[in-house]
Amino acid sequence: MMSETISGGHLVAKALKAEGVEVIYTLCGGHIIDIYDGCVDEGIEVIDVRHEQVAAHAADGYARITGKPGCAVVTAGPGTTDAVTGVANAFRAESPMLLIGGQGALSQHKMGSLQDLPHVDMMTPITKFAATVPSTERVADIVSMAFRECYHGAPGPSFLEIPRDVLDAKVPLEKARIPAAGHYRASTRQQGDPEAIERLADLLAHAEKPCILLGSQVWTCRATDAAIDFVRSLNVPAYMNGSGRGTLAPGDPHHFQLSRRYAFTEADLIIIVGTPFDFRMGYGKRLSPTAKVVQIDLDYRTVGKNRDIDLGIVGDAGLILAATAQAASGRIENGVARRKEWLDELRAVETQAYEKRLPRQLSGAQPIDPYRLVHEINEFLTEDTIYIGDGGDIVTFSGQVVQPKSPGHWMDPGPLGTLGVGMAFAMAAKQARRDKEVLCLFGDGAFSLTGWDFETMVRFDLPFIGVIGNNSSMNQIRYGQAAKYGEDRARVGNTLGDIRYGEFAKLLGGYGEEVRDPAEIRPALERARQSGKPSLINVWVDPEVYAPGTMNQTMYK
């Protein structure tokens, strides 16, 4: 009797299924079609996009939204190089995804086969693990190994190339190693050093003006409840950044945003959770020199990098915050109430900053003040709207004003600052969470990098509300050119056409509108919501107005 056989592509699909991956994002090529055939058998959805960059960003987005690893599958050579940006973005954003790339047949190794490139060498510096699958029997085994590596320390991407003959060959089923779901990797959550947690509890007991920054890892670790319990029980004002935004809802007494610089200057204890001292944090230089600084991170390499700290704890944000709250309870007593004055002080700074800006947010100016656009978006978001920002200056405006109403409802590229993530993130978010509304704010420059995948949103019936802050420019860069070289030399390499993206949406089968009157922003957003289609509301904003965040960028000084 002949034994049952299985091909490499089907083994890939079995390994993805074991990991709980429900969808792959892909652009086809002859090198990878056997994986599609395997996905048919395993019930894994195949979403085919218009550019491999989008496939990789979507896998990154899927990981962020679901907490499971995302997967993109691309062909050899240009398919893989097109996906490099998506992998790089996931690397800097600590997002666990697997990119599988095709490769020429092993039997033609280095003979000059079609689309042959040294993919593993190219991917090694931007992944946690990059390897060639050497034999069909080991396909599922190495896929599971790649997933294991994604969760070492702070998560990140892995890359596998599978040569065409390895993928297409069939081997006897009993010769293939097929790791079983739930039996090939362990949780990598770390508790943190108990002694360090005691020391943090002590610092909290003595602090009069503590504050905490809840960074992206608070969401990565799904530490929302622990973080909320921590700030409430210890009465600590909280700031949020990256995916940590929305941990506390706007209006929560411990939710602060506009007074961060003041707090970092005045506090006596600053706790940084799950975000590095990178450019977004002024490399840690803007913290009070007399404050005690504590850093909690999944990655030991991030703790103490770029500035000295008083205490570092490596591990899972949720476990550490919960253990610290427990260790501190009963130790603080009067301290917690005494902090009321500190919270009131910050709230006053916060209110003043808000009131100063409010007239701009309500501006009736034409062309539209970008502040008005982001204000309208903020008012429009519900607790079930996932907000995505993809652009330059316009997204910098939104960072100040837009507040997600729920945890995990904010997506930005992360520290790679990659333009073009928006459509892919919207795709992944809507596909993974059909119950959610998805709104993406694009710059017109950012949109045009990957905008053709609006068609994929239509083809897969993934309704979302796209908003373009259209200034016919790459304005964030233009600002720097004007500042450095003068207005008369500022319009070089940054000017875009006046594109009616609302018409583009209609052309591809979606809903679209042009908005020039600020009073029309809200009604247009409502109509996009009602349309039930992928939509683009093209809002013409004033190109002469720049965000303060853009103007303060140190690279222009």
Ligand X SMILES: Cc1ncc(C[n+]2csc(CCOP(=O)(O)OP(=O)(O)O)c2C)c(N)n1
Q: Rule CB under 5 A: which residues touch Mg ion?
A: 443-445, 471, 473, 475
Peptide bond into 367 cis (omega under 30): yes
- Minimum separation from the CB atom of position 44 to ligand X (A): 29
DSSP annotation of 271? E
- Minimum separation from the CB atom of position 132 to ligand X (A): 28
Taking CB under 6 A as the rule, does residue 346 contact ligand X?
no
Give the orientation angle of helix 317-328 with respect to helix 194-206, to 10 degrees.
50
CB closer to ligand X, 115 vs 418: 418
Taking CB under 6 A as the rule, does residue 417 contact ligand X?
yes
* Consecutive H or E run containing 80: helix 78-93
CB closer to Mg ion, 446 vs 505: 446
Q: Binding ligand X by CB under 6 A: which of 476, 481, 535, 538? A: 476
CB closer to ligand X, 335 vs 399: 399
CB 35 within 8 A of CB 15: no
Distance CA 123, CA 142 (A): 16
Both tokens of 526, joined, read 């409502």
| Dihedral sign from CA coordinates of 110, 116, 120, 121 | positive
CB 95 within 8 A of CB 122: no
Distance CA 15, CA 173 (A): 14
- Minimum separation from the CB atom of position 551 to ligand X (A): 12
Amino acid of residue 405: K
Terminal Cα distance for the chain, rounded: 76
Q: Binding ligand X by CB under 6 A: which of 392, 404, 414, 466? A: 392
Taking CB under 6 A as the rule, does residue 419 contact ligand X?
yes
- Minimum separation from the CB atom of position 421 to ligand X (A): 9
CB closer to ligand X, 162 vs 537: 537
Q: Binding ligand X by CB under 6 A: which of 7, 235, 418, 431? A: 418
CB closer to Mg ion, 66 vs 473: 473
Query: Among Mg ion, ligand X, none, what does residue 44 contact (CB within 5–8 Å per kind)?
Result: none
- Minimum separation from the CB atom of position 418 to ligand X (A): 5
CB closer to Mg ion, 408 vs 445: 445
CB closer to ligand X, 267 vs 373: 373
Q: Binding ligand X by CB under 6 A: which of 137, 316, 393, 412? A: 393
Distance CA 157, CA 97 (A): 5
Q: Binding ligand X by CB under 6 A: which of 475, 481, 535, 538? A: 475
CB 303 within 8 A of CB 297: yes
- State the residue number with the nearest CB to ligand X: 443
Taking CB under 6 A as the rule, does residue 473 contact ligand X?
yes
Burial classification of residue 355, based on how many CB atoms lie within 10 Å of its CB (0-12 exposed, 13-18 middle, 19 or more buried): exposed
Taking CB under 6 A as the rule, does residue 77 contact ligand X?
no
Query: Among ligand X, Mg ion, none, what does residue 418 contact (CB within 5–8 Å per kind)?
Result: ligand X
Q: Binding ligand X by CB under 6 A: which of 47, 145, 477, 525? A: 477
Peptide bond into 413 cis (omega under 30): no
Query: Among Mg ion, ligand X, none, what does residue 420 contact (CB within 5–8 Å per kind)?
Result: ligand X
* Consecutive H or E run containing 468: strand 465-470
DSSP annotation of 487? G
* Consecutive H or E run containing 70: strand 70-74
Distance CA 96, CA 220 (A): 10
Query: Among ligand X, Mg ion, none, what does residue 367 contact (CB within 5–8 Å per kind)?
Result: none
- Minimum separation from the CB atom of position 89 to ligand X (A): 9
Both tokens of 154, joined, read 């702070």
Annotate 290-348 with DSSP letters as a single string: TSEEEEEES-TTTTTSSS--SEEEES-HHHHHHHHHHHHTTT-THHHHHTHHHHHHHHH
Query: Among ligand X, Mg ion, none, what does residue 274 contact (CB within 5–8 Å per kind)?
Result: none
Distance CA 193, CA 406 (A): 31
Q: Binding ligand X by CB under 6 A: which of 87, 238, 474, 525? A: 474
- Minimum separation from the CB atom of position 444 to Mg ion (A): 4
Selected range binding ligand X among 1-9, 98-106, 214-222, 412-420, rule: CB under 6 A: 412-420
| Contacts with 334 (C-beta within 8 Å, 6 or more apart), sequence order | none
Taking CB under 6 A as the rule, does residue 512 contact ligand X?
no
Hey, which residues between 434 and 453 contact ligand X (CB under 6 A)? 443-446
Number of residues in contact with ligand X under rule CB under 6 A: 19
Contact set with ligand X (CB under 6 A): 391-394, 417-420, 443-446, 469, 471, 473-477
